[in-house]
C-alpha cells in the first residue's frame, strides 16, 4: 500500500470521531502532499547543486562608468515614472511562525523603533504613506499571513485604523499550509482532533497571491510590478526607483537586491548564474572551496548574498496559476509535538518530523532577464530574527538609529553620537531631497530626537 493510501486510511478513520479533523482532511491537498513526500522523503531532495554555475553578475551600488552613470539616471527617472503612474504595489510576506524570536503575536506587530516604539507594520505603512504623498498616487499593499496569524493581523490593523492607508488599499490573505510527517512520511497529529499543520514557506506566496484574488485586484488597478519584502526587516526601502527602473528597462521577470557578504561563510543565500539565468545556492550548500575562491582583486568571488528583497513582474507571478510552473519543496527537520498511537502527547527533544516548505527564490531560475542590484547593508537590511545577539531586536534598533544619524549628518546639526534618533518613515522618501532640516519638525527630549514632517 502506498504511503498516501496508508495515510488516508488512518486519518479518515480518526476523522470519523472529530468533525474538525474531518474538515482538515477534506481540505488537505493530497496530490501536493504526494509531491512533497516524493521530493523530500523518498528521493530525499536533492534539488542538488546546479552544474556549471559561476558567481552572478550584478549592478554595483554606485555606477562604475560614465555609461553606467547615464543608465542609472535614466533608470531612476523611469522607476519614478512607474511609481507615479500607479504601476507598483507593495507586498509583505508575514506568514512565518517566528519561532526563533518567540514573540507572542504576528511578528509585524512587534514594536521596533527606539523612541516611539512603532511596530514593523506601522513602519512599512508610514513609508507607503510617504511614497503616496511624494508621488501623488495610491500604492496598494498586499500582506500575506498564515491561517495561524491572519485574524490577529487584521485585528491589529483595524485597531490602528489601517494606519491611515485606507482599508480599501490593503489586502490580507492566508498562505497555504502543509502537514508535517515523521521521517517515513506518516502524517502527525498535533492533538486528537487536529493534524500538525504549518505554513508552506514564503514560496507559498506566489500561489496565495493568485488564489486570494490579489493578482486579479492588481490587474484591475493596473499594477505591473510587485515589490516583495519580508516582514522582519525594518530597514527595507519599499519602492526603490533605481531598482524598479532597472528591472523594467531590462525586461526582467524577477529582480533582486544583493548584499556583499561579510565573509565567505556568512549565512546568506548566494546568487549564482547558470547560463542566462540566476539562482540561489543556500549557504549550507555552497562547497567550501567555492566559498573561498577569490577574484584577482582579492575579493571573494561568491560575495553576492541575498537579503530577500525582490521585484516581480505581475505577469510572471500569473504564470504560476496553472500549476505547470511550480516551486520545489525543501525538507526542514524540526521538533514537532504529536499524539502517539496510545493517544499521549509526545514532546520530542530532537527533531522528529519533516516540514515541507517552498522558497520564493526558487522562482529565480524560471525568470527571464533576471537582474541583481547591489544594496548597502547598513541602509537596507537588519532583520529581527533572534531574541538576542546577531539579527535581534536590539541589533536592528541600533541599526535604525545609526542610519538616522548618517541621514542627518549631512545637515551639520552637530547631534551628539550618544543621542537616539528616530525618523518618521513618512519623511523617508523626501528626507534626502530636502534642502533644510527646518522643513522637519524637531521634537527634542532628553537625548532623543524624533523627526517628522507631520504632527
Ligand atoms: P523566516 O525564514 O525567517 O521564518 O521567514 P520565520 O517563520 O519568520 O522565523 P523562524 O525561522 O520560525 O524563526 C522569512 C520571511 O518569510 C516569511 C516570514 O514571515 C518572514 O517575513 N514566511 C516564512 C512566510 O510568510 N511564510 C512562511 O511559511 C515562512
Residue nearest atom 2 in ligand 1 by C-alpha distance: 96
Distance 232 CA to ligand 1 centre (A): 8
pLDDT band for 191, please (50, 70, 90 cuts).
Answer: very high
pLDDT at 434: 47
Q: Per the domain annotation, does 47 fall within a domain? A: yes
Task: List pLDDT tens digits, range 344-376.
Answer: 999 999 999 999 999 999 999 999 999 999 999
From the alpha carbon of 233, which atom of ligand 1 is closest? 21
Across the range 375-400, mean pLDDT stands at 96
Q: How far is CA 202 from the centre of its chain?
A: 7
From the alpha carbon of 100, which atom of ligand 1 is closest? 13
Q: Per the domain annotation, does 416 fall within a domain? A: no
From the alpha carbon of 199, which atom of ligand 1 is closest? 28
Q: Lowest mean pLDDT: which of 195-199, 384-388, 404-408?
A: 404-408
What's 29's domain CATH number? 3.90.550.10
pLDDT band for 4, please (50, 70, 90 cuts).
Answer: confident
Task: List pLDDT tens digits, range 282-294.
Answer: 998 999 999 999 9
User: Which DSSP string do the residues of 193-243 spell out, in sequence order?
Assistant: TEE-EEE--TTHHHHHHHHTTHHHHHHHHT--EEEEEETT-TT--S--HHH
CB atoms within 10 A of CB 116: 15
Kind of pairing between the strands at 441-445 and 371-374: unpaired
Residue with cell 498535533: 190
If we measure between CA atoms, which residue out of 215, 229, 244 comes closest to residue 92?
229
Distance 320 CA to ligand 1 centre (A): 21
What is the rounded (10 degree) CA torsion for 86, 88, 92, 93? 130
If we measure between CA atoms, which residue out of 310, 316, 318 comes closest to residue 247?
310
pLDDT band for 47, please (50, 70, 90 cuts).
Answer: low
Q: Per the domain annotation, does 95 fall within a domain? A: yes
Residue nearest atom 28 in ligand 1 by C-alpha distance: 201
Across the range 297-321, mean pLDDT stands at 97
pLDDT at 323: 84
Q: Per the domain annotation, does 439 fall within a domain? A: no
Task: List pLDDT tens digits, range 138-154.
Answer: 999 999 999 999 999 99
CA distance 416 to 248: 42
Between 300 and 47, the more confident residue is: 300
Q: Per the domain annotation, does 238 fall within a domain? A: yes
CB atoms within 10 A of CB 334: 14
CA distance 267 to 255: 21
Distance 100 CA to ligand 1 centre (A): 10
Q: Which residues line ligand 1 (CB under 6 A)?
A: 93-100, 144, 175, 199-202, 204, 230-232, 385
Task: List pLDDT tens digits, range 391-443.
Answer: 999 999 999 999 999 988 877 777 888 999 999 999 887 776 544 445 566 77
Q: Per the domain annotation, does 256 fall within a domain? A: yes
Q: Per the domain annotation, does 82 fall within a domain? A: yes
CB atoms within 10 A of CB 394: 13
CA distance 319 to 342: 46
pLDDT at 416: 85
Distance 98 CA to ligand 1 centre (A): 6
Q: Is the dihedral of CA 194, 198, 200, 204 positive or negative?
A: positive
Contact status, residue 383 vs residue 306, Cβ threshold 8 Å = no
Backbone angles phi, psi at 271, to 5 degrees: -75, 130
E strand intervals along 254-337: 254-260, 269-274, 277-281, 304-306, 310-313, 330-334
User: Which DSSP string do the residues of 390-420 spell out, in sequence order?
Assistant: TTBHHHHHHHHHHHHHHHHHTTT----TT-E
Distance 113 CA to ligand 1 centre (A): 21
Q: Per the domain annotation, does 409 fall within a domain? A: no
pLDDT at 452: 80
Distance 102 CA to ligand 1 centre (A): 12
The conformational region for residue 52 under phi > 0 = left, psi -120 to 50 = alpha, else beta, is left
Residue nearest atom 22 in ligand 1 by C-alpha distance: 96
Number of structural domains in the chain: 1
Task: Give the structural domain span for 204.
Answer: 3-391
pLDDT at 48: 67
pTM for the predicted model, two decimal places = 0.95
pLDDT band for 42, please (50, 70, 90 cuts).
Answer: confident
User: Which DSSP string do the residues of 316-377 spell out, in sequence order?
Assistant: HHHTTSSSSS-PPPEEEEE---EE-TTS-EE--SS--EEEEE--GGGGGGG-SS-EEEE--H
State how far the alpha carbon of 304 is from the alpha carbons of 73, 202, 227, 264, in Å: 23, 21, 20, 10
Task: List pLDDT tens digits, range 261-274.
Answer: 999 999 999 999 99
Amino acid at each position: 500500500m502506498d504511503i498516501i493510501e496508508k495515510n488516508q486510511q488512518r486519518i479518515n478513520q480518526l476523522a470519523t470521531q472529530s468533525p474538525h479533523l474531518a474538515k482538515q482532511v477534506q481540505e488537505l491537498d493530497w496530490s501536493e502532499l504526494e509531491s512533497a513526500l516524493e521530493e523530500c522523503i523518498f528521493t530525499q531532495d536533492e534539488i542538488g547543486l546546479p552544474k556549471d554555475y559561476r558567481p552572478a553578475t550584478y549592478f554595483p551600488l554606485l555606477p562604475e562608468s560614465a555609461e553606467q552613470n547615464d543608465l542609472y539616471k535614466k533608470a531612476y527617472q523611469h522607476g519614478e515614472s512607474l511609481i507615479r503612474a500607479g504601476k507598483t504595489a507593495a507586498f509583505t510576506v508575514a506568514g512565518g511562525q517566528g519561532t526563533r524570536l518567540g514573540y507572542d503575536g504576528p511578528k509585524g506587530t512587534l514594536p521596533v523603533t527606539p523612541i516611539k516604539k512603532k511596530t514593523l507594520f506601522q513602519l512599512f505603512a508610514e513609508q507607503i504613506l510617504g511614497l503616496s504623498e511624494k508621488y501623488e498616487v495610491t500604492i496598494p499593499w498586499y500582506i500575506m499571513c498564515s491561517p495561524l496569524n491572519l485574524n490577529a493581523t487584521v485585528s491589529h490593523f483595524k485597531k490602528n485604523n489601517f494606519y491611515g492607508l485606507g482599508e480599501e488599499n490593503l489586502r490580507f490573505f492566508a498562505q497555504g499550509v502543509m502537514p508535517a510527517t515523521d521521517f517515513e512520511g506518516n502524517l502527525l497529529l498535533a492533538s486528537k482532533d487536529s493534524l500538525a499543520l504549518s505554513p508552506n514557506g514564503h514560496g507559498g506566496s506566489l500561489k496565495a497571491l493568485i488564489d486570494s484574488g490579489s493578482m486579479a485586484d492588481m490587474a484591475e488597478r493596473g499594477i505591473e510590478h510587485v515589490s516583495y519584502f519580508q516582514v522582519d526587516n525594518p530597514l527595507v526601502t519599499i519602492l526603490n526607483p533605481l531598482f524598479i527602473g532597472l528591472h523594467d528597462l531590462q525586461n526582467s521577470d524577477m529582480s533582486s537586491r544583493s548584499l556583499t557578504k561579510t565573509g565567505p561563510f556568512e549565512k546568506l543565500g548566494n546568487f549564482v548564474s547558470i547560463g542566462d539565468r540566476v539562482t540561489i545556492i543556500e549557504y549550507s550548500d555552497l562547497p567550501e572551496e567555492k566559498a573561498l575562491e577569490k577574484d584577482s582583486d582579492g575579493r571573494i568571488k561568491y560575495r553576492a548574498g541575498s537579503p530577500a528583497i525582490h521585484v516581480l513582474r505581475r505577469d510572471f507571478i500569473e504564470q504560476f496559476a496553472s500549476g505547470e510552473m511550480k516551486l520545489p519543496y525543501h525538507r526542514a527537520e524540526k521538533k514537532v509535538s504529536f499524539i502517539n498511537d496510545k493517544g499521549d502527547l509526545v514532546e520530542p527533544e530532537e527533531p522528529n518530523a519533516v516540514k515541507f516548505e517552498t522558497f520564493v527564490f526558487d522562482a529565480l531560475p524560471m525568470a527571464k532577464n533576471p537582474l541583481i542590484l547591489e544594496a548597502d547593508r547598513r541602509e537596507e537590511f537588519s532583520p529581527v530574527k533572534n531574541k538576542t545577539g546577531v539579527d535581534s531586536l536590539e541589533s536592528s534598533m541600533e541599526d535604525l538609529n545609526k542610519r538616522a544619524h548618517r541621514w542627518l549628518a549631512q545637515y551639520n546639526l552637530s547631534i551628539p553620537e550618544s543621542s537616539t534618533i528616530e525618523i518618521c518613515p513618512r519623511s523617508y522618501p523626501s528626507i534626502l531631497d530636502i534642502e533644510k532640516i527646518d522643513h522637519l519638525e524637531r521634537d527634542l527630549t532628553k537625548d532623543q530626537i524624533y523627526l517628522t514632517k507631520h504632527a
